[in-house]
Amino acid sequence: MDAAPSADHIAQRVVIVGGGTAGWMAAAALARFAPASTRITLIESDAIGTVGVGEATIPGIRLFNQMLGLDEAEFLRATNGSFKLGIRFEGWSGEGSGYLHAFGSIGRGLGLVPFHHYWLRGGGAANPASLWGHMPSAQAAMAGRFAPDPGRPDLPSGLAWAYHFDASLYAALLRRHAEAAGVVRVEGRIASVARETGGRVDHVVLDGGQAHAGDLFIDCTGFRALLIGETLAEPFDDWSELLPCDRALAVAGERTSPLPPYTRAIAHGAGWRWRIPLQYRTGNGLVYDSRHLSDDEAADRLLTALNGKAMGEPRCLRFSPGRRRRAWVGNCVALGLAAGFLEPLESTSIHLIQSGIARLLDYWPGTIPPAIEIEAYNRETAAEWLAIRDFLILHYHANTRPEPFWTERRAVPLPDSLAARIALFRANGRFRREGEELFAEPAWVQVMIGQGIMPAGHHALADTLSADELDDFLSLTRRHAAQVAARLPTHDAFLAAHCAAPAPK
Ligand code: FAD
Examine residue 255 and state whether it is found in any structural domain, yes or no. Answer: yes
Question: 209 in helix, strand or coil?
Answer: coil
Q: How far apart are CA 263 and CA 345, in angstroms?
A: 10
Per-residue model confidence as pLDDT tens digits over 375-433: 999 999 999 999 999 999 999 999 999 999 999 999 999 999 999 999 999 999 999 99
How many angstroms separate the CA atoms of 389 and 239, rounded?
9
- Is the CB of residue 349 less than 8 Å from the CB of residue 162? no
Q: Based on the fold, state whether residues 224 and 332 are members of the same structural domain.
A: yes
Instruction: Give the pLDDT of residue 5.
Output: 46
Answer yes or no: do 305 and 345 share one domain. no
Q: Strand 216-219 to strand 247-253: parallel, antiparallel, or no bridges (unpaired)?
A: unpaired
Instruction: Please work out whether the CB of residue 248 comes within 6 Å of at least one atom of ligand 1.
Output: yes
Say if 351 falls within a structural domain. yes
Both 173 and 292 in a single domain?
Answer: no
Same domain, 343 and 363: yes
Query: How far is ligand 1, taken at its centre, from the CA of residue 79, in Å?
Result: 17
How far is the centre of ligand 1, averaged over its atoms, from the C-alpha of 248 (Å)? 14
Name the domain boundary from 355, 386, 417: 386
Q: Which residues of the chain have pLDDT under 50?
A: 1-6
Question: Which H or E run contains 251?
Answer: strand 247-253
The pLDDT value given to residue 13? 96
Tell me the CA–centroid distance for residue 410 and ligand 1, in Å: 31
Reported ipTM exceeds the 0.90 cut: yes
Q: Is 21 in the pocket of ligand 1 (CB under 6 A)?
A: yes
- Looking at the structure, do residues 314 and 330 belong to the same domain, yes or no? no
Say how many Å lie between the CA of residue 53 and the centre of ligand 1.
7
Asked if residue 420 belongs to a domain, the reply is: no
Active-site residue, 84 included:
yes
Q: How many domains does the chain have?
A: 2
State how beta strands 201-206 and 211-213 pair: antiparallel
365: exposed, middle or buried (C-beta count within 10 Å: 0-12, 13-18, 19+)?
Answer: middle
In sign, the C-alpha dihedral spanning 64, 69, 73, 75 is negative
Quick one: 208 and 270 in the same domain?
no
Give the whole-angstrom CA distance, residue 79 versus residue 324. Answer: 30
Supply the CATH number for residue 68's domain.
3.50.50.60
Residue nearest to atom 34 of ligand 1 (CA): 248
Exposure b/e, 154-172, CB count within 10 A at least 16 = b: eebbbbbbbbbbbbbbbbe
Residue 343 shares a structural domain with residue 377: yes
Residues annotated within a binding site for FAD = 19-22, 337, 350
Atom of ligand 1 nearest to the CA of 351: 25
**pLDDT given for residue 6 in this prediction:** 47
What is the C-alpha separation between 357 and 364, in angstroms, rounded?
Answer: 10
* Helix 416-428 × helix 441-450 angle, to 10°: 80
Pocket probe for ligand 1: among 51, 186, 276, 342, the residue whose CB has the most ligand atoms within 8 Å is 51
Do 194 and 303 fall within a single domain? no
Q: Residue 143's pLDDT is what?
A: 98
Q: Quick one: which atom of ligand 1 is closest to the CA of 221?
A: 7
66 class by beta-carbon count within 10 Å (0-12 exposed, 13-18 middle, 19+ buried): exposed
- Is 167 touching ligand 1 by the criterion CB < 6 Å? yes
Q: How far is the centre of ligand 1, averaged over its atoms, from the C-alpha of 280 (Å)?
A: 22
> Is residue 224 within 6 Å of ligand 1 at its C-beta?
yes
Q: Which residues pair with 482 in a beta bridge?
A: none
For residue 314, what are the domain limits?
A: 247-318
Same domain, 188 and 236: yes
Any domain includes 307: yes
Peptide bond into 258 cis (omega under 30): yes
Among 318, 339, 360, identify where a domain stops. 318
Same domain, yes or no, for 232 and 286? no
Q: Could you please report the per-residue DSSP string of 149-194?
A: --EETTEE-----EEE--HHHHHHHHHHHHHHTTPEEEES-EEEEE
Candidates 13, 39, 62, 84; catalytic one: 84
Domain contains 95: no
- Quick one: pLDDT at residue 108? 87
Check pocket membership of 53 for ligand 1, CB cut-off 6 A.
yes
pLDDT value at residue 308: 84
> Is residue 392 one of the residues assigned to a domain?
no
* DSSP assignment letter at 229: I
In 3D space, the residue among 291, 193, 173 whose CA is nearest the CA of residue 233 turns out to be: 193
User: Probe ligand 1: pick from 64, 163, 164, 221, max atoms within 8 Å of CB?
Assistant: 221
Binding residues for L-tryptophan: 346
| 55 and 196 belong to one structural domain | yes
Whole-number Å distance, alpha carbon 43 to ligand 1 midpoint, is: 14
Q: What pLDDT, on a 0 to 100 scale, did the predictor assign at position 455?
A: 98
Domain end among 277, 300, 318: 318
Residues constituting the chain:
505
CB 285 within 8 A of CB 302: yes
Strands (E), 363-477: none
Contact 288, 298 (CB under 8 A): yes
423 burial level (CB within 10 Å; 0-12, 13-18, 19+):
exposed
Same domain, 75 and 171: yes
pLDDT on residue 367: 75
Residue 252 lies in a domain: yes
To test the pocket of ligand 1, the residue of 15, 41, 50 to mutate (highest count of ligand atoms within 8 Å of its CB) is 50
For 92, list phi and psi in degrees, rounded to 5.
-75, -20
Instruction: Identify whether 417 is part of a domain.
Output: no
Is the CB of 43 inside a 6 Å radius of any atom of ligand 1?
Answer: yes
